[in-house]
Amino acid sequence: MAAPPASAGPALAIAVTEAGGLGLIGGRFSVDILRTQLQEASQTLKSSTNSLVADAALLPIGVGFLTFVLKLDDVLPLIEEFRPCVVWLFVARTLEGYVEWAEGVRRVSPGTKVWVQTGSVSAALHIAKTAKPDALCIQGADAGGHGFEKGAGIISLLPETADAFRNEGLSHIPLLAAGGIMDGRGVAAALALGAEGVVMGTRFLGSREVEIHPAYQAAVLEAQDGGQVTVRSHLFDELSGPNMWPEMYDGRSLAIQSHKDRVDGMELEEIQRLHNEAVKERDEGFKTGLHGRAAIWAGTGVGLVSGVEGAREIVERVRGESREALGRVAGL
């Protein structure tokens, strides 16, 4: 079980790892910020009372990279220095981009595992054959945050990918499932589909350790019926200016006022002006009631986030629930 949102800093990553999952620091836009966060994580983990964590040969958290954002040459010294147990790669401009990253990471830190997240059967096959990742996370369309613009839910995407991997002799690469997994029932379902683990993002927006504005968290807690109150769109990447993301990616956010205005025909320039004004306010443009102007990245499972708990409690609860769900189904 892993927690990778960009809003995942050291505190969330450490709490998930200490609870027996794998915590990840989410994709940063600055190498300097990442360095500070890795230093913080490394110091905290060394003084952990859990000896498995404190004495680990590699840093027992993962680090996520949006590979179109940072330059590999700037990142490699950090990986060499901190040696995270997992480097998580997402959003390469082209699928070939993962090859260079995977080779670079393995060269400077041979023990580090390379995990790649992607969103289609064909992309998964291509990445498996070229970058040869240690694991692939198959991200379904329900996921919060960025993902393939064209997508399917993991209920069909995961088993089709697993079948394709078996047919092509790639079954040695473990598949993880992401997108809409919120509790133990979701974990049990993902395991039944053929996943060997799950990645959860939206659920941790309801954690104490997540790095989000309180108004963002309030909107997440209030949201119900995720298929109705979230939407995938390129608009969310255009709110503050030109869209920097590769074209095949969009993102799922709460269907905020900016989105409603666009659907109602407001010009993009006016939406951007209102957005850029709103983010200067105390609530940084995040509001409940879908009235906000800033994106609130969240998946269709958002209605299942109903309170704020420690990340450790979330991991332990989900683990217990999944055992229970699997037992219940086995007994049918």
Ligand X SMILES: Cc1cc2nc3c(=O)[nH]c(=O)nc-3n(C[C@H](O)[C@H](O)[C@H](O)COP(=O)(O)O)c2cc1C
Where do contacts with ligand X occur on this chain (CB under 6 A)? 4-7, 26-27, 64, 66, 90, 117, 139, 142-145, 178-181, 199-203, 297-299, 301
The pair of structure tokens assigned to 185 is 């029932």
Shortest Å, Cβ 199 to ligand X: 5
Helices 154-167 and 184-193, axial angle in degrees (round to 10): 30
Structural contact between residues 250 and 231, judged by C-beta atoms closer than 8 angstroms: no
Q: Based on CB atoms, which residue is closest to ligand X, 265 or 307?
A: 307
Length of the chain, please?
332
- Name the residue nearer to ligand X (CB basis): 119 or 169: 119
Nearer to ligand X, 184 or 301 (CB): 301
Q: Beta-strand (E) ranges in 227-279?
A: 230-233, 249-254
Tell the burial category of 186 from Cβ atoms under 10 Å away from its Cβ (0-12, 13-18, 19+). buried
Looking at the DSSP bridge assignments, the partners of residue 296 are: none
Give the tokens for residue 275: 């957005």
In the complex, what is the shortest distance from the CB of residue 149 to ligand X, in angstroms, rounded to a whole number?
14
Is the CB of 1 or the CB of 59 nearer to ligand X? Answer: 1
Shortest separation between residue 50's beta carbon and ligand X, angstroms: 25
**Which CB atom, from 98 or from 330, has the smaller least distance to ligand X?**
98
Q: Residue 11 and residue 226: Cα distance in Å, rounded?
A: 27
The amino acid present at 241, given as its one-letter code, is G
Minimum Å gap between C-beta 68 and ligand X is 11
Classify residue 86 by its DSSP letter. Answer: E
Beta partners for residue 3, in sequence order = 23
Q: CA angle, 106 as apex, 101 and 111 as ends, to 5°?
A: 140
According to DSSP, the β-strands at 175-178 and 197-199 are: parallel
By C-beta, is 202 or 257 nearer to ligand X?
Answer: 202
Comparing C-alpha atoms, which of 132, 147, 167 is closest to residue 90? 147
Q: How far is the CB of 64 from ligand X (least distance, A)?
A: 5
Q: Which is nearer to ligand X, 66 or 157 (CB)?
A: 66
Cα 78 to Cα 6, 27, 28, 72, distances in angstroms: 18, 14, 13, 10
